């Protein structure tokens, strides 16, 4: 299955820009360890993953009365806190949970992708 | 026991495990196996069961599972059907000795998966691992059968949707996962002792939870939390036959006919308890409760009870949990060990933490009565009656008040 993992909040981790350079380096090391752990795990592959810019760089796009409207905000609260994401191929949820334990202490949400042809 | 009952008891978990392993579909697999058992119940009543009942059920369930997967494909809109017409994932998994044990372990961990709501895990564990019928589980948890069926269906579907693993978790995850298993089974057990419904029958239903606790401790050996749980429920449940009088009224521990306690179960519980050193956390909570049950189980008569030992165990339990209910029980034990005044002193701090709780008033009444203060006792019994729910306990309080 494919799982989308959203890093949606700092959780017990202080905001990234409040960390010292050493702490940031330690955090980056955890992301590298996560990459390595996924590579080493049979049946697991990181299909995609990025850190995301904050809401100040986000644009909201909505259709109103049939017209596409581009605005700055409003942003859903969870999306405001969205720091990054992964798309991971994994045999099951439990494997994803085990591997995510390597990452810094973000609050995360894990959702399986579904095949619209199989609904 | 008839053939089908025997297969259900011995083979349900193994059969379900194999179906889930081969299909990856806990929801469809459980339905398919239940249908196979229903079909067997129908056919074997009219004709002799097949020579290999387990094999017959396995292949029948397998066919049902394939049918269900094909029906799923057919339900899709034609333009979405694509090339998925024939499900491929229903080949029977290779079976090797030892697999069966693993499968039941995997079922246990799947049914108590942390991604499921806590309140559905006990019910799902009874259903998945032991194949307990939904109406029995519903009675145990005091909900209508349709409600329980809907809860179980939702939980099974969620397991399929989130892609919960059907395997034994890595040992590094055991401390948490095994505690989840123990907690779920403990809730199933205590449900049988919650007041309400046909209490005699529901207490008997708790036997399934005891079976599950013993099975869990045997499947996942060397886990103090599971050993303590098995000891606790064996010791506690050994008293079930003496717990109700012929007319269904509750018989208090002190008044129970101890010859009706089940000696073999007490021995089994003590055997598990005595090998357990003091530990920490939830395992220690269960161990201390088991220890208290053991003090009762080993007293030849009520007056032989080692109340000092029980009071000490309750004190440690209170330190561990901070629970006012534990303190309430401790007040009873201290009252027995050191006299009613000492018990009342322990009880003093409980009232404000459990305001209006009928058992606080009842314990106070009993202690006051023993301290020779009938008028104060009468007021306390009356307060207990005012808040006690209908049932055996309320009738007991009324009888105590009348006998003052």
pLDDT tens digits for B131-157? 999 999 999 999 999 999 999 999 999
Q: Which residues of chain A neighbour B87 with C-beta distances below 8 Å?
A: none
Nearest CA in chain B to A111: B162
Nearest CA in chain A to B173: A98
Nearest CA in chain B to A98: B173
Whole-number pLDDT of residue B82? 54
pLDDT tens digits for B307-333? 999 999 999 999 999 999 999 999 999
CB atoms within 10 A of CB B30: 24
To the nearest whole angstrom, how far is the Cα of A113 from the nearest Cα of chain B? Answer: 10
Query: Are B352 and B360 a contacting pair, CB within 8 Å?
Result: no
- Residue tagged 């032991």 (tokens): B130
Nearest CA in chain B to A2: B163
Nearest CA in chain A to B169: A94
- Residue tagged 């009224």 (tokens): B249
Distance CA B302, CA B134 (A): 39
**Interchain contact, B167 vs A98, CB within 8 Å:** no
CB atoms within 10 A of CB B331: 27
For chain A, say whether B162 makes contact (Cβ under 8 Å).
yes
How far is residue B389 from each of residues A33, B136, B144, B326, B377, measured CA to CA in Å? 57, 24, 20, 20, 20
Query: Are A63 and A69 a contacting pair, CB within 8 Å?
Result: yes
Structure token digits, residue B395 = 């009738």
What's the N-to-C CA distance of chain A in angstroms? 14
Q: Is the dihedral of CA B311, B317, B322, B323 positive or negative?
A: negative
Q: Which residues of chain B neighbour A94 with C-beta distances below 8 Å?
A: 164-165, 167, 169
**Interchain contact, B84 vs A118, CB within 8 Å:** yes
Out of B163, B169, B173, whose CB is closest to A112?
Answer: B163
Query: Are A80 and A53 a contacting pair, CB within 8 Å?
Result: no
How far is residue A76 from each of residues A3, A73, B98, B145, measured CA to CA in Å? 21, 9, 51, 40
pLDDT tens digits for A75-118? 877 777 888 999 999 999 999 999 999 998 889 999 999 887 76
Distance CA B346, CA B58 (A): 58
Distance CA B373, CA B50 (A): 70
Q: Which residues contact B190 (CB under 8 A, 6 or more apart)?
A: none
Distance CA B17, CA B23 (A): 10
- Which phi and psi angles does A85 have, rounded to 5°? -150, 160
Looking from the CA of B317 toward its CB, the CA atoms found within 13 Å total: 25
**pLDDT tens string for chain B (404 positions)?**
688 999 999 999 999 999 999 999 999 999 999 999 999 999 998 988 999 999 999 999 999 999 999 998 887 766 555 544 444 444 444 444 455 567 899 999 999 999 999 999 999 999 999 999 999 999 999 999 999 999 999 999 999 999 999 999 998 888 889 999 999 999 999 999 988 888 889 999 999 999 999 999 999 989 999 999 999 999 999 999 999 888 878 888 999 999 999 999 999 999 999 999 999 999 999 999 999 999 999 999 999 999 999 999 999 999 999 999 999 999 999 999 999 999 999 999 898 888 888 999 999 999 999 999 999 999 999 999 999 988 778 888 999 999 98
Query: Are A111 and A3 a contacting pair, CB within 8 Å?
Result: yes
Structure token digits, residue B327 = 């303190």
- Closest of B240, B237, B236 to residue B200, by C-alpha: B240
For chain A, say whether B264 makes contact (Cβ under 8 Å).
no
To the nearest whole angstrom, how far is the Cα of B24 from the nearest Cα of chain A? Answer: 10
Out of A92, A116, A118, whose CB is closest to B165?
Answer: A92
Extract long-range pairs of B147-155: CB within 8 Å, 24+ residues apart: B148/B123, B151/B120, B151/B123, B152/B120, B152/B123, B152/B124, B152/B127, B153/B27, B154/B120, B155/B116, B155/B117, B155/B120, B155/B123, B155/B124
Task: Tell me how many degrees the CA angle B347-B349-B353 measures, rounded to the nearest 5.
Answer: 110
Task: Tell me how many degrees the CA angle B317-B319-B325 measures, rounded to the nearest 5.
Answer: 60
Query: Are B48 and B4 a contacting pair, CB within 8 Å?
Result: no
Interface test mutation site (partner B, options A4, A94, A99, A115, max chain B beta carbons within 10 A): A94
**Interchain contact, B164 vs A112, CB within 8 Å:** no
Q: Looking at chain B from residue 333 to 392, which residues have their Cβ under 8 Å from any Cβ of chain A?
A: none
pTM: predicted TM-score of the whole model, two decimal places: 0.88
Nearest CA in chain A to B76: A119
Query: Are B322 and B350 a contacting pair, CB within 8 Å?
Result: no
For chain A, say whether B173 makes contact (Cβ under 8 Å).
yes
């Amino acid at each position: 299955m494919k799982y989308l993992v959203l890093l949606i909040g700092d959780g017990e981790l202080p905001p990234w820009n409040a960390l010292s350079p050493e702490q940031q380096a330690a955090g980056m090391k955890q992301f590298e360890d996560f990459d390595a752990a996924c590579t080493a795990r049979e049946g697991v592959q990181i299909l995609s993953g990025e850190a995301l810019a904050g809401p100040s760089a986000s644009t909201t796009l909505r259709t109103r009365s049939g017209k596409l409207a581009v605005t700055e905000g409003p942003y859903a609260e969870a999306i405001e806190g969205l720091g990054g994401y992964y798309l991971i191929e994994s045999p099951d949820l439990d494997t994803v949970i085990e591997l995510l334990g390597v990452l810094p202490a973000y609050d995360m949400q894990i959702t399986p992708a579904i095949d619209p042809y199989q609904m | 026991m008839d053939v089908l009952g025997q297969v259900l008891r011995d083979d349900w978990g193994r059969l379900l495990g194999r179906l889930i392993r081969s299909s990856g579909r806990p929801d469809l697999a459980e339905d398919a196996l239940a249908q196979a058992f229903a079909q067997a119940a129908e056919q074997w009543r009219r004709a002799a069961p097949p020579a290999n009942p387990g094999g017959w059920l396995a292949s029948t369930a397998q066919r049902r599972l394939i049918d269900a997967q094909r029906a799923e494909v057919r339900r899709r809109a034609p333009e979405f059907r694509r090339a998925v017409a024939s499900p491929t994932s229903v080949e029977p998994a290779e079976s090797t000795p030892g697999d069966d044990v693993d499968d039941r372990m995997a079922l246990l961990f799947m049914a108590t998966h942390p991604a499921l709501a806590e309140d559905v895990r006990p019910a799902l564990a009874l259903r998945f691992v032991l194949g307990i019928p939904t109406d029995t589980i519903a009675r145990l948890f005091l909900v209508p059968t349709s409600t329980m069926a809907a809860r179980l269906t939702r939980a099974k579907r969620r397991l399929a949707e989130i892609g919960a693993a059907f395997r034994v978790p890595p040992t590094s995850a055991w401390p948490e996962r095994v505690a989840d298993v123990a907690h779920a089974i403990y809730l199933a057990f205590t449900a049988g002792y919650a007041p309400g419904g046909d209490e005699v029958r529901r207490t008997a239903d708790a036997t399934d939870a005891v079976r599950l606790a013993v099975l869990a401790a045997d499947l996942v050996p060397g886990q103090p939390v599971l050993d303590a749980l098995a000891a606790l429920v064996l010791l506690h449940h050994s008293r079930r036959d003496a717990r109700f009088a012929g007319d269904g009224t509750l018989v208090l521990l002190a008044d129970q006919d101890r010859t009706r306690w089940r000696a073999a179960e007490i021995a089994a519980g003590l055997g598990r308890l005595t090998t357990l050193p003091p530990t920490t956390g939830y395992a220690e909570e269960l161990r201390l409760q088991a220890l208290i049950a053991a003090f009762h189980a080993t007293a030849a008569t009520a007056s032989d009870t080692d109340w000092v030992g029980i009071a000490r165990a309750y004190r440690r339990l209170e330190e561990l949990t901070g629970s006012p209910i534990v303190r309430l029980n401790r007040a009873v034990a201290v009252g027995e060990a050191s006299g009613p005044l000492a018990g009342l002193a322990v009880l003093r701090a409980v009232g404000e933490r459990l305001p209006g709780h009928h058992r606080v008033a009842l314990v106070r009444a009993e202690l006051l009565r023993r301290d020779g203060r009938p008028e104060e006792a009468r007021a306390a019994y009356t307060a207990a009656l005012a808040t006690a729910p209908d049932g055996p306990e309320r009738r007991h309080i009324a009888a105590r008040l009348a006998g003052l």
